Amino acid sequence: MAHSAAAGSGDTGTYIFGAAAHSNELESGVLTLDDQELPLVDAAVLQDLEDELGQPEMAWSFANDYAVMWRLRERCLLDSLEREDHSAALDAVISLKVSSAMVGGLRLARLAGALEITLRKGDLRAGLSFLAFISVLGQATVKELQSRYVQAGG
């Protein structure tokens, strides 16, 4: 299954991420794909992960680890941007994008994909403008993931 940024290809297990969020999306706080608002957490992605792994407890463990590691991922991204460490910032945002996609955090994955594009253009200062939104959206994603999946036991 390809987990790379939020466009359903017709196959519910395939998501193609990476399209840049439009500036009006960042201003409004609503991330869309084909004019449809992306879910904070897409349960179908988690179900696909369970099915692929063949062991629901492994998917639950991955989702739980994602939630536990959120603050570390956020801190790594913030620190790398503040240090103007382009390579570390790219590593951090790609990790955030891919792991968010794998747990169904489609909005956060989309936003991380937009930040990745900005960083690949070499604009670290513009990357800083994403941080507040990433922080808020990341916390909301973790809260939703924990309440709808982790605490429910998958």
- CB of 115 within 8 A of CB of 5? no
pTM score, two decimals?
A: 0.77
Query: How big is the chain by its Cα radius of gyration, in Å?
Result: 15
Q: Where are the domains of the chain?
A: 23-150
Structure tokens that stand for 83 in this block:
């240090």
Question: Which has the higher per-residue pLDDT, 141 or 9?
Answer: 141
pLDDT tens sequence across 44-101: 999 999 999 999 999 999 999 999 999 999 999 999 999 999 999 999 999 999 999 9
Alpha-helical regions (H) of the chain: 23-28, 43-53, 56-82, 86-102, 106-120, 124-128, 131-145
- CB of 36 within 8 A of CB of 134? no
**Topology (CATH level 3) of domain 23-150:** Four Helix Bundle (Hemerythrin (Met), subunit A) (1.20.120)
